[in-house]
Amino acid sequence: MKDRLLARINDRTARVGVIGLGYVGLPLAVELGKAGFHVVGYDVSARVVEGLMAGRSHIQDVPTEEVAALVRAGRFEATTDDSRLAELDAISIAVPTPLGKTRDPDMSYVLSARDTILRNAHPGLLIVLESTTYPGTTRELFLPSFEKLGFTVGIDVFLAFSPERVDPGNTVFLTKNTPKVVGGITPACTELATAFYQSSIDTIVTVSSPEAAELTKLLENTFRAVNIGMVNEMAIVCDKLGVDVHEVIDAAATKPFGFMKFTPGPGIGGHCIPLDPHYLAWKMRTLNYKTRFIDLASEINSQMPSFVMEKVTLALNEDRKPVNGSRALVLGVAYKKDINDVRESPSLDIIRLLGLHGAEVAFHDPHVSMVREDGHELRGVELTDEALESADVVVIVTDHSAVDYQRVLDHAALVVDTRNATKHCVRTKARVVTLSSSAAGREVMAQQAY
């Protein structure tokens, strides 16, 4: 079985598929298509499938022309028909892994994808889970179900985990040139999964087990969550001391070794950093171990929107204005610059907090025209001189490159800049408040000098 599948992968006659055609699955499907495979993309969303079959990409990093060319060439087709999986020799799973209300893993999408494969499984099939998850998932949730059907993993079917590392908006590192980690249940599983990805990804890094691959992804994202948490705390520290956190970070970053630059901000967002470390924390709770770094980072990062709200309140107070009844213009609702993803975005929390305190809130985002929160729809506004002039406070939450920040400072009266986006702008009309520019902090330092 193994040699036959290996040969079919190597000569590109293997029929391959991707389950879940979102931020992760679509770029992978396109790379596999470009590598010469015939790719079937299976998704439960008819809207996603119809769009793709019409040659349209719904993912910002995947050019529409690439999807259209593959569809025209008959190399890629999207479907909602799960029976099409029966034709496939290799399947990657890239479905969501969110958290439930109690911040426990919600494995329902992964289990549903697994069951869809089980209904269509046949000898000679390679299955690779890519969704970010807790260590042990592949062995605990996949291996027994295939064995129950009579397959021997490593002989009849092949099972591996390979974490996706896609970084939306990153124009340098894309699916093809980001090294991919692969860990199979058996050496044969690893060998086949490696050959499969080698077709379309430049560098493959093998590890000894699915658990090592699962944990690699969680280490990467926990590393980011903890360092962002640490630097966010440093912003609060600097605020209390009246020191500019960005000046300190930029100076520290001149050290050519032993320091890696992270920047503070309004909080963390997206489908990875706020969620993934909790998969590890949950798993470790089942083993009676408390992952303290994860808990602390999460606590600090999730409090940043409240810290921003405090900055806005104090800044308006200096202008003798209450938040209640003030007009707030939020710049940016995407969770990071130059993308249109609003999942878990701290901007949504800030908009909600401003609204709760009675502010009239509007937002502008060059990449997002509308957001939905708690069943309410909020439509974005144009960034005009009038919109800037009529706002009591402009809150920069996402530092999109397409926004002219000099214009913001030329027309707004008060700007709370949570990203240091106005760093290079000439201070003209607006009073600018950053995360660490509290007047109280400067006062404390001045008093302590006597």
Ligand X SMILES: NC(=O)c1ccc[n+]([C@@H]2O[C@H](COP(=O)([O-])OP(=O)(O)OC[C@H]3O[C@@H](n4cnc5c(N)ncnc54)[C@H](O)[C@@H]3O)[C@@H](O)[C@H]2O)c1
The residues that touch ligand X, with contacts defined as CB under 6 A, are: 19-25, 42-45, 48, 94-97, 109, 112-113, 131-132, 164-166, 168, 270-272
Of 17 and 229, which CB lies nearer to ligand X in the complex structure? 17
Whole-number Å distance between alpha carbons of 113 and 21: 12
Residue 319 CB, nearest approach to ligand X (Å): 39
Return the bridge partners of 370, or none: 379
Whole-number Å distance between alpha carbons of 422 and 416: 10
Residue closer to ligand X, measured from CB, 139 or 343 = 343
Q: CA geometry: angle at 400 spanning 65 and 411, to 5°?
A: 130
- The residue ranges of DSSP E strands in 102-193, in sequence order, are 125-129, 157-161, 180-184
Instruction: From 22, 148, 40, 56, select the one nearest 91 (Cα to Cα).
Output: 40
The identity of residue 315, as a single letter, is A
Instruction: Please identify, using beta-carbon distances, which residue of 99 and 387 lies nearer to ligand X.
Output: 99
Segments in 35-138 forming alpha helices (H): 46-53, 64-72, 108-120, 137
Tell me how far apart the alpha carbons of residues 11 and 303 are, in angstroms, rounded to a whole number: 53
Between 41 and 184, CB nearer to ligand X: 41
Nearest to 246, CA basis, from 82, 434, 86, 102: 434
Nearer to ligand X, 224 or 352 (CB): 224
In 3-state terms, what secondary structure has residue 364? strand
Catalytic site residue 425? no
Quote the DSSP letter at residue 105.
B
Beta strand ranges found along 380-428 (DSSP E): 393-396, 414-417
Give 48 or 193: the residue with its C-beta nearer to ligand X.
48
Secondary element (H or E) of residue 326: none
- In the complex with ligand X, the residue whose CB is nearer, 22 or 332, is 22
Nearest C-alpha neighbor of 161 from the set 116, 109, 211, 108: 211
Q: Which residue type is seen at 367? A: H
* CA pair distance 197, 203, nearest whole angstrom: 9
- Is the distance from CB of 348 to CB of 368 less than 8 angstroms? no
Look at strands 38-42 and 76-79 and give their pairing.
parallel
> At its nearest, how many Å lie between ligand X and the CB of residue 298?
16
- The residue with its CB nearest to ligand X is 22
Element containing residue 360 per DSSP (H, E): strand 360-364
Tell me whether residue 267 or residue 441 sits nearer to ligand X (CB atom): 267
Three-class DSSP category at 90: strand
Closest distance to ligand X from the beta carbon of 153 (Å): 21
- What's the min distance (Å) between Cβ of 222 and ligand X? 13
Under 8 Å between Cβ of 91 and 125: yes
Min separation Cβ 29 and ligand X, Å: 11
Cβ proximity to ligand X, 80 vs 390, nearer residue: 80
CB of 43 to ligand X, least distance (A): 4
Q: Active site residue: 189, 238, 272, 425, which one?
A: 272
What is the closest distance, in whole angstroms, from the C-beta atom of residue 62 to ligand X in the complex?
11
Laid out side by side, the sheet with 90-93 consists of 76-79, 38-42, 15-19, 90-93, 125-129, 157-161, 180-184, 204-206
Smallest distance from the beta carbon of 338 to ligand X, in angstroms?
14
CB of 44 to ligand X, least distance (A): 4
Instruction: Please tell me the distance from the alpha carbon of residue 288 to that of residue 279, in angstroms, as a whole number.
Output: 14
Residues with catalytic roles: 272
